[in-house]
Amino acid sequence: MTTSSSHEDREHALSWLAHGGQLAFELKGDRAKHSDVIWQLLVDAIEIIDKTPDQERRWLTSGQRSGGWNMVGMSRAELILIEKIRLLSAMKPFDGAAKYAPQRNDTDRALGVLAWLRWCNVARLPHRLVKAAVALARSGDQEVVHRIYCPNRKPDRRNIHEIRTRTIGFILAGLKKDLGIETGEGITFKEVHQ
Protein backbone atom coordinates (compact mmCIF):
# COMPACT_ATOMS: atom_id res chain seq x y z
CA MET A 1 0.00 0.00 0.00
CA THR A 2 1.28 3.43 -0.93
CA THR A 3 0.11 6.57 0.81
CA SER A 4 1.08 9.70 -1.06
CA SER A 5 -0.81 12.30 0.94
CA SER A 6 -0.32 14.52 3.89
CA HIS A 7 -1.88 14.10 7.29
CA GLU A 8 -4.03 17.17 6.60
CA ASP A 9 -5.51 15.57 3.44
CA ARG A 10 -6.41 12.44 5.43
CA GLU A 11 -8.02 14.52 8.18
CA HIS A 12 -10.12 16.41 5.63
CA ALA A 13 -11.17 13.18 3.92
CA LEU A 14 -12.11 11.56 7.25
CA SER A 15 -14.23 14.58 8.23
CA TRP A 16 -15.96 14.52 4.84
CA LEU A 17 -16.60 10.79 5.21
CA ALA A 18 -18.09 11.43 8.67
CA HIS A 19 -20.43 13.99 7.06
CA GLY A 20 -21.31 11.41 4.40
CA GLY A 21 -22.04 8.92 7.17
CA GLN A 22 -24.57 11.34 8.64
CA LEU A 23 -26.19 11.83 5.22
CA ALA A 24 -26.37 8.07 4.60
CA PHE A 25 -27.79 7.42 8.07
CA GLU A 26 -30.47 10.11 7.57
CA LEU A 27 -31.40 8.48 4.27
CA LYS A 28 -31.29 4.76 5.12
CA GLY A 29 -30.95 4.52 8.89
CA ASP A 30 -29.38 1.29 10.12
CA ARG A 31 -29.40 -0.18 6.61
CA ALA A 32 -26.77 2.34 5.44
CA LYS A 33 -23.51 0.92 4.10
CA HIS A 34 -20.10 2.35 3.26
CA SER A 35 -21.13 2.55 -0.40
CA ASP A 36 -24.11 4.73 0.63
CA VAL A 37 -21.71 7.09 2.42
CA ILE A 38 -19.60 7.58 -0.72
CA TRP A 39 -22.63 7.97 -2.98
CA GLN A 40 -24.35 10.47 -0.68
CA LEU A 41 -21.15 12.53 -0.60
CA LEU A 42 -21.14 12.60 -4.41
CA VAL A 43 -24.83 13.59 -4.54
CA ASP A 44 -24.22 16.31 -1.94
CA ALA A 45 -21.15 17.61 -3.78
CA ILE A 46 -23.00 17.84 -7.11
CA GLU A 47 -25.91 19.61 -5.41
CA ILE A 48 -23.63 22.16 -3.74
CA ILE A 49 -21.77 22.93 -6.96
CA ASP A 50 -25.02 23.22 -8.92
CA LYS A 51 -26.46 25.66 -6.36
CA THR A 52 -23.36 27.83 -6.30
CA PRO A 53 -24.05 31.12 -8.10
CA ASP A 54 -22.45 31.48 -11.49
CA GLN A 55 -20.28 34.60 -11.40
CA GLU A 56 -20.26 35.02 -15.18
CA ARG A 57 -24.05 34.82 -15.35
CA ARG A 58 -24.25 37.42 -12.59
CA TRP A 59 -22.04 39.77 -14.60
CA LEU A 60 -24.14 39.32 -17.72
CA THR A 61 -27.41 40.08 -15.92
CA SER A 62 -26.13 42.99 -13.82
CA GLY A 63 -27.41 45.59 -16.29
CA GLN A 64 -30.93 44.19 -16.11
CA ARG A 65 -31.16 44.69 -12.36
CA SER A 66 -30.08 48.31 -12.39
CA GLY A 67 -33.37 49.60 -13.78
CA GLY A 68 -35.66 47.85 -11.34
CA TRP A 69 -39.38 48.00 -12.04
CA ASN A 70 -39.32 51.60 -13.11
CA MET A 71 -37.43 50.94 -16.33
CA VAL A 72 -37.48 53.31 -19.26
CA GLY A 73 -40.52 52.72 -21.45
CA MET A 74 -42.91 51.50 -18.71
CA SER A 75 -45.97 53.57 -18.08
CA ARG A 76 -47.46 54.17 -14.66
CA ALA A 77 -50.39 51.88 -15.53
CA GLU A 78 -47.99 49.04 -16.39
CA LEU A 79 -46.18 49.48 -13.07
CA ILE A 80 -49.47 49.39 -11.15
CA LEU A 81 -50.52 46.25 -13.06
CA ILE A 82 -47.21 44.51 -12.25
CA GLU A 83 -47.56 45.34 -8.55
CA LYS A 84 -51.16 44.09 -8.56
CA ILE A 85 -50.07 40.79 -10.12
CA ARG A 86 -47.30 40.47 -7.54
CA LEU A 87 -49.74 41.01 -4.67
CA LEU A 88 -52.29 38.57 -6.11
CA SER A 89 -49.48 36.03 -6.44
CA ALA A 90 -48.71 36.45 -2.72
CA MET A 91 -45.33 38.01 -3.46
CA LYS A 92 -43.99 40.60 -1.10
CA PRO A 93 -43.09 43.98 -2.57
CA PHE A 94 -39.49 44.02 -3.80
CA ASP A 95 -39.29 40.25 -3.29
CA GLY A 96 -36.38 39.04 -5.40
CA ALA A 97 -35.00 35.67 -6.30
CA ALA A 98 -33.74 33.56 -3.42
CA LYS A 99 -29.98 33.46 -3.18
CA TYR A 100 -27.85 30.56 -2.08
CA ALA A 101 -24.51 31.21 -0.49
CA PRO A 102 -22.68 27.99 0.36
CA GLN A 103 -20.43 27.88 3.38
CA ARG A 104 -16.70 27.70 2.71
CA ASN A 105 -16.48 24.20 4.22
CA ASP A 106 -19.32 23.01 1.97
CA THR A 107 -17.56 24.18 -1.18
CA ASP A 108 -14.20 22.77 -0.07
CA ARG A 109 -15.84 19.44 0.75
CA ALA A 110 -17.71 19.35 -2.58
CA LEU A 111 -14.60 20.09 -4.61
CA GLY A 112 -12.57 17.59 -2.60
CA VAL A 113 -15.13 14.82 -3.05
CA LEU A 114 -15.43 15.53 -6.78
CA ALA A 115 -11.63 15.30 -7.00
CA TRP A 116 -12.00 11.69 -5.85
CA LEU A 117 -13.48 10.92 -9.27
CA ARG A 118 -9.91 11.03 -10.58
CA TRP A 119 -9.51 7.50 -9.22
CA CYS A 120 -11.96 6.34 -11.88
CA ASN A 121 -9.25 7.02 -14.49
CA VAL A 122 -8.05 3.40 -14.21
CA ALA A 123 -11.39 2.21 -15.63
CA ARG A 124 -11.96 1.32 -19.24
CA LEU A 125 -13.51 4.44 -20.83
CA PRO A 126 -13.16 6.53 -17.65
CA HIS A 127 -14.72 9.66 -19.12
CA ARG A 128 -17.97 7.78 -19.74
CA LEU A 129 -18.02 6.38 -16.23
CA VAL A 130 -17.38 9.76 -14.61
CA LYS A 131 -19.93 11.59 -16.78
CA ALA A 132 -22.54 8.91 -16.13
CA ALA A 133 -21.85 8.93 -12.37
CA VAL A 134 -22.20 12.72 -12.24
CA ALA A 135 -25.43 12.61 -14.26
CA LEU A 136 -26.80 9.86 -12.01
CA ALA A 137 -25.83 11.76 -8.84
CA ARG A 138 -27.28 14.99 -10.24
CA SER A 139 -30.74 13.90 -11.29
CA GLY A 140 -31.01 10.16 -11.40
CA ASP A 141 -32.42 10.38 -14.94
CA GLN A 142 -31.69 6.84 -16.07
CA GLU A 143 -32.32 7.51 -19.76
CA VAL A 144 -29.61 10.18 -19.88
CA VAL A 145 -27.24 7.97 -17.90
CA HIS A 146 -27.76 5.08 -20.33
CA ARG A 147 -27.04 7.31 -23.33
CA ILE A 148 -23.80 8.47 -21.73
CA TYR A 149 -22.50 5.22 -20.27
CA CYS A 150 -23.68 2.49 -22.62
CA PRO A 151 -25.38 3.91 -25.72
CA ASN A 152 -25.21 0.58 -27.55
CA ARG A 153 -26.75 -1.49 -24.75
CA LYS A 154 -30.40 -1.96 -23.99
CA PRO A 155 -31.45 0.20 -21.00
CA ASP A 156 -31.44 -1.90 -17.85
CA ARG A 157 -31.38 -1.12 -14.15
CA ARG A 158 -28.28 -3.31 -13.84
CA ASN A 159 -26.37 -0.67 -15.82
CA ILE A 160 -27.25 1.91 -13.17
CA HIS A 161 -26.10 -0.48 -10.44
CA GLU A 162 -22.87 -1.08 -12.39
CA ILE A 163 -22.13 2.66 -12.63
CA ARG A 164 -22.66 3.19 -8.91
CA THR A 165 -20.73 0.08 -7.91
CA ARG A 166 -17.75 0.79 -10.16
CA THR A 167 -17.55 4.46 -9.17
CA ILE A 168 -17.77 3.68 -5.46
CA GLY A 169 -15.27 0.83 -5.83
CA PHE A 170 -12.69 3.03 -7.55
CA ILE A 171 -13.14 5.72 -4.88
CA LEU A 172 -12.79 3.23 -2.02
CA ALA A 173 -9.64 1.80 -3.65
CA GLY A 174 -8.23 5.31 -4.12
CA LEU A 175 -8.97 6.24 -0.52
CA LYS A 176 -7.11 3.18 0.67
CA LYS A 177 -4.17 3.44 -1.72
CA ASP A 178 -3.56 7.20 -1.81
CA LEU A 179 -4.89 8.40 1.54
CA GLY A 180 -4.55 5.31 3.72
CA ILE A 181 -8.25 5.30 4.66
CA GLU A 182 -10.32 2.13 4.84
CA THR A 183 -13.76 1.10 6.02
CA GLY A 184 -14.36 0.69 9.73
CA GLU A 185 -17.19 -0.51 11.97
CA GLY A 186 -20.70 0.29 10.82
CA ILE A 187 -20.47 3.11 8.31
CA THR A 188 -17.32 4.70 9.69
CA PHE A 189 -13.92 5.03 8.05
CA LYS A 190 -10.53 4.84 9.72
CA GLU A 191 -6.94 5.65 8.97
CA VAL A 192 -4.72 2.65 8.27
CA HIS A 193 -1.76 2.59 10.62
CA GLN A 194 1.50 1.49 9.10
Task: Map out the domains of the chain as residue ranges.
Answer: 7-54+101-191
pLDDT at 130: 92
Q: What is the pLDDT of residues 3-12, one digit of tens each?
A: 445 788 899 9
The pTM (predicted TM-score) of the whole model is 0.72
Q: What is the average pLDDT score of the chain?
A: 81
- Each as own residue / partner, the long-range contacts of residues 133-142 (CB below 8 Å, 24 or more positions apart, any chain) are 133/42, 133/163, 133/164, 133/167, 134/42, 134/46, 136/160, 136/163, 136/164, 137/39, 137/42, 137/43, 137/45, 137/46, 138/46, 138/47, 138/50
Q: What is the pLDDT of residues 108-151, one digit of tens each?
A: 999 999 999 999 998 888 888 899 999 999 887 778 887 888 88
Q: What is the pLDDT of residues 83-92, one digit of tens each?
A: 778 777 766 6
